[in-house]
Copies of this chain bind each other. A is one copy, B any other.
Amino acid sequence: MADPLFDKIALVGIGLIGSSLARVIRRKNLARRISISTRRAGTLERARELELGDAYSIDPAEAVADADLVVVSVPVGSSGEVAESIAPALKPGAIVTDVGSTKRSVIAQMEPVLPKNVHFIPGHPLAGTEKSGPDAGFADLFENRWCIFTPLPDTDPAALEKLSEFWRRCGSNVDTMDPAHHDMVLAIVSHLPHIIAYNIVGTADDLQTVTKSEVIKYSASGFRDFTRLAASDPTMWRDVCLHNKDAILEMLARFSEDLASLQRAIRWGDGEKLFDLFTRTRAIRRSIIEAGQEIDAPDFGRHGADPADGDKG
């Protein structure tokens, strides 16, 4: 196995992403030491029980001391607070990165607070599941997923390359992007889908004419697909909504316009328009499967996992 990339990595936040990083760092020998910090004592204790690191501290400043790489994996609304806590303790020359799903807001919160003698490189691994917490992580999580960096104008190329190498060894493909463009891309590929999923599940939950037990019983006919995204971490997603507001509102406006048009086609019985849209959308899934970003099995492979599954309208 290759020599460790870093002497010490500090993981601030040990949820799904942080704990998956801990596992892959260990498995791929990416650091000699892992120190872990998280806000809640119970979560820290659980990380210790799972033996995710070498040192554990409630105090993020203690965890980041001497670290060559610091990965902040907290809800984006807590980025500024974490940056303030760790700033005085950072080792000169350390690389500091994050995993947040919004980048302009994270940069605005962290960049002004961090010392100039560290390399702050905002990052975002597009990986995860609907589960959260230190038990939910696994070493394969980043395999074949993308990690997007949004470097600042003065980012040191050597530091960026080292961080890129770290993520590649975690299994990811790496990409760089302007922060504003990142936030727009994520608004459509991730934030809007989650918000729509939360919304439709909420609508179903509120109905009077159809009972909740009917919704649950008959959910395999389509609805259950949405419940996965709508089971994602509420704190994380509240923060995403609050911190990528402009791009999300833009995408919501487009979605609502399109929905109004579709609704009109249904009301007026415009079968041709419906057929055209329903045909066009079919091609996109094929492209996603060909790009290696989705499994090529009917019903998400549910039938493979459990022969008792399927769905239709």
Chain A residues within 8 Å of B, Cβ to Cβ: 16-17, 101, 125-131, 136, 138, 140-146, 148, 184-186, 188-207, 209-210, 212, 214-232, 234-242, 245, 248-249, 251-252, 254-256, 258-260, 262-263, 265-267, 269, 271, 274-275, 277-282, 284-288, 291-295, 297-313
Enumerate chain B residues within 8 angstroms of A231, measured Cβ to Cβ: 281-282, 284-286
Are A281 and B311 within 8 A (Cβ)? no
Docked Cα-Cα span, A165 to B189, in Å, equals 45
Enumerate chain B residues within 8 angstroms of A234, measured Cβ to Cβ: 274-275, 278-279, 282
Are A219 and B288 within 8 A (Cβ)? yes
Docked Cα-Cα span, A122 to B128, in Å, equals 42
Are B299 and A227 within 8 A (Cβ)? no
Given contacts A234-B278, A278-B238, contact A312 B202 (CB under 8 A): no
Docked Cα-Cα span, A248 to B17, in Å, equals 39
In whole Å, how far is A308's beta carbon from the nearest beta carbon of chain B? 4
* A210 in complex: contacting residue of B188, B238, B258, CB < 8 Å: B188
In whole Å, how far is A109's beta carbon from the nearest beta carbon of chain B? 15
Are B242 and A274 within 8 A (Cβ)? yes
Are A218 and B189 within 8 A (Cβ)? yes
Task: Please list 24 pairs of residues, one from A and one from B, whose beta carbons are closer than 8 Å in the complex, sorted by A's number.
Answer: A127-B312, A129-B310, A186-B221, A188-B207, A188-B210, A189-B204, A189-B218, A191-B222, A197-B222, A199-B255, A199-B262, A203-B255, A220-B293, A225-B229, A230-B284, A238-B275, A252-B259, A256-B259, A256-B263, A292-B308, A300-B305, A301-B304, A304-B304, A304-B305
Enumerate chain B residues within 8 angstroms of A185, measured Cβ to Cβ: 210, 214-215, 218
Enumerate chain B residues within 8 angstroms of A204, measured Cβ to Cβ: 188-189, 284
* A266 in complex: contacting residue of B241, B297, B298, CB < 8 Å: B241
